[in-house]
Every structure is written in C-alpha cells, then in structure tokens.
Amino acid sequence: MFMIINKDGDMEIKGWAESVRNLGGLAFITLRDINGKYQVTVSKNSNPEIFERLADIKAESVIEVIGEKKDNEKAVNGYEIIPKKLEILTVAEQPVPLNLSEKVQSSLDKEIDFRFLSLRKPKTAAIFKIQSTVSNAITKFFEDNGFYQIHSSKIISQATEGGANVFQVIYFDKTAFLAQSPQFYKQMMMAAGFEKVFEIGPVFRAEPHHTSRHLTEYTSVDLEMSFIKSYEDVMTVMENLMLRIFKEVRERNKKDLELYGIELEELKTPFPRITIKEAAEILKKYGNSLKEDGDIDPEGERIMGQYVKEKYGSDFFFLTEFPWSIAQFYHMKKEGNEEVTNRADLIYKGLEITTLAQREHRYEVLIKQLKEKNLDPEKFKFYTDFFRYGVPPHGGSGTGLERIVKQMLNLENVAEATLLPRTPDRLMP
C-alpha cells in the first residue's frame, strides 16, 4: 500500500489510473493500488490547473496524488481525495491489450498471456494474496511444530518414481532429470536423524495432460516425519495444517474472499476416512467404478466429494488403503494384507490435493519391493544405501499448493491459481 499521511495531514497515494470520468465541471479519477481503489475528485472551479491535465491521463497510467481526505458516503471507501497536487509518473500506451474491467472476462489464455496486466484486477490479485497467506501459514505451522525447512536439488540423476514421466535435461556430458518430487531427499533427512522436515518448492511432471487439474510444473508442499506409529500420524498433521491455513486466510484475506463470495467455515476434525474398497461400493451406487488398476478417476473423486459432503458435512476426506498394484515401491504394505498399502489421498471438494504414505524403512523389504515393481535395485543404490545404517519408521506427504487455492476459491482451472502456468502447450510468459 503506497498511501501515507504527510506532515501537513494530506493523503499521498500512488497507483494506477483505472478511469477518468469528466462531467464538465467535475471529474472523477478511480485510482487503484494493490490494496484497493480510491476516488479522486477534481473540480474545474477549485483546481483548474489539475482539471486541465486530466486529458493527459490515459487508462492504466501511473499517477501520484497528494490531497485532502474528505468524507463522502457515495465514494468508494466512504471518502474522496481532493487533490492539491497530481503528477503523471508514467503514461500507458493505448489501447491496453487486456480489458481490466471485472465485468468483462477474457479467455484464460489471454489472461495469462498478459499476466502483468491481469494481476492488476483486484479479483485476480486476490488469488495470489490468498496463496501468499496459505504459503506463509504452512511455513509457520511447520516451524511451530518442530519441522526443519530443507531445499533439495531439482536436478537429479534418477527419476524419483522410477517411471518415464520426467523431463530430461542436458547436464554437461550427461543426461539428468528435473525432479518429480523431493521424495528421496526427504527420506535421506530421516536417515540423517532430522526427524521432521518440510519443503515448499517446484516439482516437474512430464505428463501430456490437457485438463483443468494438471500442470507440468507446480509448487509442492512436502513433509516427512520419523518415529510414526502409522500413516494416521501423517493424516493428523495434514488435518492440523489445513486448520491453520483456513484460520490464517479467514483472518488475513476477508476482503479477498468477499470478491469470490466465499466465507471459509471452521473445519471440523478428524476428516472422514474411507478405504478405496469402501469407495468402490459407494461409487457403484452412482453408476461409477474404480479404474481397471484399482485407482480412482477424477469423476470418482468428484462423486465421493459430494457423497462425503452430504453424509458428513465435510469438504475434506481421506481415501485410504490404496492397492499395492498402483503403489510406489517405497510405500509400506499394510500389515496382514499385502495387497494394500499404508497410503492415503486427501480429497478437497472432490479433488485430490495430497498424497501421503508410510514409507518402507526396512532395507531388505525395500529391495524386495523394488524387484516386485520390476525395478533394478542397482539403479537406486544411492537411495537404498540410506536404509543400510538404521532408519526409523517414517512417512510423509506431498500437496499441491495451487490445488488448495483452486478449491478454496472454487476456480475452474488450476492454471488460474498459478502465477506462470506451465502446461504441455505453454512455456511463456
């Protein structure tokens, strides 16, 4: 906010001239900055010099106004500014290539093409103000709960998931990859005795999806914690993290939420838990089913989200006990039933935002599971070596930051909640 009260008691504001309405003897400038809009009222009789300069103010030009604050119930904020000084700092070229009126919605592609302009819209800016609060709340939550923040490398020698959906990069005379996840490095920190770590950083998925829920680069909120009794411990942390996020956004972003007509409710924990087997039975009643591999598809998540909302009154639930057939090699199998794993997804309003699991910490079992997944243990030796010298039971999660904000604001596309989206078709701006 660049609004100050100077020594003479006058207001000094700098921002963008959204519009100038000249009614003959009286003119109104709508001035906008990151915190909102202000009305500047110019009288031809009272200040003819400033009035004459209004014709030089083009839409979206940057101006500075110094003047008297005067109560006016009809004005935005309940007051207007009567200028004593007005300076045009920069003049915007015309026409502005993006309509910045909230009443006119351009295509999402155009909004992103001109991101530097679309962010001037208060409603668009609100998305990223809220995202900032969410990110800060996450950091404070982890720090308050004894987690250490780490920053792992995003250039790696081996695909984290052991699959093909990675971006290759030329690394001098070698081939390297962009990290799909900080998974291996989080677990390295468990082997190192750090016990609880978190990271907020970019991850990359070379998946040619063209959907409203996928990005090729997104911001992942990762945690890993040692000495857990089960993956329920990780679920509890995720519940408390969501409580903290909602609390902070309610307190700090009331006006931003109002732009979307949203009032965040206080979350009730624990969130419902539904096994994938139970979900299959529920989905049958709605004419849906799990995929052939035993996983749930986006439509199934949506149906389950509605079901949980109606039955439990919750926007959140955990989908648990995923089959081993679709698990990662490092997921721990359920004791007494090796067909399923100690893995859960956190679903928010019908969209998966988090995947979490208890990890397999026993070296011999980990090697066995690598082979079961037809992966060569020698190629993962740098990782499996962590487990040869004592690693405690541990688990963790990965959460999409943009997906949290998308669902919170009921946005149609995760790209709307992404500052500079990267998709199979977009590398700019």
Are residues 17 and 155 both part of a single domain?
no
With a pLDDT cut of 70, the percent of the chain lying above it is: 97
Give the per-residue pLDDT at 102.
Answer: 79
Question: Rg of the chain's alpha carbons, rounded to an integer?
Answer: 26
Q: Select from 255, 221, 358, 337 the least CA-distant residue to 1.
A: 255
Q: Decide which of 400 and 46 is more confident.
A: 400
Q: Select from 397, 419, 394 the least CA-distant residue to 124.
A: 419
How does pLDDT run across 229-275, given as a tens digit for each residue?
999 999 999 999 999 999 999 999 999 999 999 999 899 999 999 99
Are residues 137 and 80 both part of a single domain?
no
Give the whole-angstrom CA distance, residue 162 versus residue 373. 9
Beta bridge partners of 217: 204
Q: Select from 220, 178, 217 the least CA-distant residue to 356.
A: 220
SS3 content of the chain, % helix, strand, coil (to 5): 35, 30, 35
User: Phi and psi of 44, rounded to 5°?
Assistant: -65, -35
Look-up of token digits 């979206």: 60
**What is the residue range of 160's domain?**
117-417
- 110 found inside a domain: no
Name 61's Cβ contacts closer than 8 Å, sequence gap at least 6. 16, 17, 88, 89, 90, 91, 92
Its pTM surpasses 0.75 = yes
Return mean pLDDT, the chain: 94
First to last CA, the chain: 26
How does pLDDT run across 156-166, given as a tens digit for each residue?
987 766 566 89
How does pLDDT run across 103-139, given as a tens digit for each residue?
878 899 999 999 999 999 999 999 999 999 999 999 9
Give the whole-angstrom CA distance, residue 256 versus residue 197. 31
Q: Which two tokens stand for residue 406?
A: 């998308």
Out of 59-73, 93-107, 306-320, 359-373, pick the least confident: 93-107
Q: Which two tokens stand for residue 422?
A: 């990267």
Q: Does the pLDDT at position 8 exceed 80? A: no
Q: Among residues 46, 72, 90, which one ends one of the domains?
A: 90
- 265 found inside a domain: yes
- 95 found inside a domain: no
When divided into structural domains, the chain yields a total of 2
Q: Does the pLDDT at position 62 exceed 70? A: yes
Q: Inter-axis angle of helices 401-408 and 122-144, to 10 degrees? A: 130
Q: Does the pLDDT at position 31 exceed 50? A: yes
Are residues 151 and 62 both part of a single domain?
no
CB 363 within 8 A of CB 353: no
Give the whole-angstrom CA distance, residue 20 versus residue 29. 5
C-alpha triplet 427, 428, 429: angle, nearest 5°: 145
Helical residues (DSSP H) of 217-275, grouped into ranges: 232-252, 254-258
Q: Can you say whether the dihedral through the CA atoms of 309, 315, 316, 321 is positive or negative?
A: positive
- 98 found inside a domain: no
Give the per-residue pLDDT at 161.
Answer: 63
- 70 found inside a domain: yes
Are residues 73 and 150 both part of a single domain?
no
How does pLDDT run across 171-211, given as a tens digit for each residue?
999 999 999 999 999 999 999 999 999 999 999 999 888 88
Q: Residue 76 — very low, low, confident or very high, per pLDDT cuts 50/70/90?
A: confident
Q: Does the pLDDT at position 2 exceed 60? A: no
Are residues 122 and 78 both part of a single domain?
no
Q: Residue 1 — very low, low, confident or very high, per pLDDT cuts 50/70/90?
A: very low
With a pLDDT cut of 90, the percent of the chain lying above it is: 87
Are residues 297 and 401 both part of a single domain?
yes
Could you say which DSSP state residue 172 is in? T
DSSP for 259-327, written as a single string? TTT--PPPP-SSPPEEEHHHHHHHHHHTT----TTSPPPHHHHHHHHHHHHHHH--SEEEEE--BGGGS
How does pLDDT run across 356-375, given as a tens digit for each residue?
999 999 999 999 999 999 99
What's the CATH number where 74 sits? 2.40.50.140
In terms of phi and psi (left: phi > 0; alpha: psi -120 to 50; beta: otherwise), the region of 180 is: alpha
Q: Residue 149 — very low, low, confident or very high, per pLDDT cuts 50/70/90?
A: very high
Q: Residue 7 — very low, low, confident or very high, per pLDDT cuts 50/70/90?
A: low
CB 345 within 8 A of CB 318: yes
Are residues 69 and 214 both part of a single domain?
no
Q: Residue 92 — very low, low, confident or very high, per pLDDT cuts 50/70/90?
A: very high
Could you say which DSSP state residue 159 is in? -
Give the whole-angstrom CA distance, residue 282 versus residue 275. 11
Give the whole-angstrom CA distance, residue 345 versus residue 271. 12
What's the CATH number where 257 sits? 3.30.930.10
CB 43 within 8 A of CB 26: yes
Q: Rounded to an integer, what is the distance from CA 38 to the centroid of its chain?
A: 30
